[in-house]
């Protein structure tokens, strides 16, 4: 087992760095999942992209995208990256975790 030199946390991601490798893990629960899904839906709608088209661009199943937007499923950081690339948006826009009414 490698020793861990440092851990950096943000609201949604943890970066664990060992001597030679950085590991990234998405850590989202409850309200964070709903907010991420809401951000994703807002960004998609602003770009006038359908769920079907975004799923195709991000190489996701349409049902998976629907669950993400509804805040019903957690995702890997690689999935978030594919969505980020498909939308052509800033990370800051995707990863805003301020709950609105």
Token code pair at residue 74: 């957690």
- For position 95, what pLDDT does the model report? 86
On the question of pLDDT at 7 being above 90, the answer is no
- For position 100, what pLDDT does the model report? 53
Task: Measure the CA–CA gap between 45 and 63, rounded to whole angstroms.
Answer: 17
Token code pair at residue 55: 């799923």
**Domain 31-93, classified CATH 3.20.20.70, yes or no:** no
Identify the weakest region by mean pLDDT among 33-42, 58-67, 92-101.
92-101
Task: Measure the CA–CA gap between 21 and 44, rounded to whole angstroms.
Answer: 33
Which has more confidence, 28 or 52? 52
| pLDDT above 90 coverage of the chain, percent | 53
pTM of the model: 0.68
Task: Measure the CA–CA gap between 23 and 77, rounded to whole angstroms.
Answer: 10
């Amino acid at each position: 087992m490698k020793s861990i030199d440092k851990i950096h946390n943000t609201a949604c991601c943890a970066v664990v760095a060992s001597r030679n490798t950085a590991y990234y893990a998405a850590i989202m629960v409850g309200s964070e999942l709903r907010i991420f899904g809401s951000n994703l839906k807002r960004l998609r709608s602003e770009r006038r992209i359908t769920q079907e088209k975004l799923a195709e661009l991000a190489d996701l199943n349409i049902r998976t995208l629907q669950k993400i937007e509804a805040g019903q499923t957690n995702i890997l950081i690689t999935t978030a990256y594919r969505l980020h690339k498909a939308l052509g948006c800033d990370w800051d826009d995707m990863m805003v975790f301020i709950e609105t009414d």
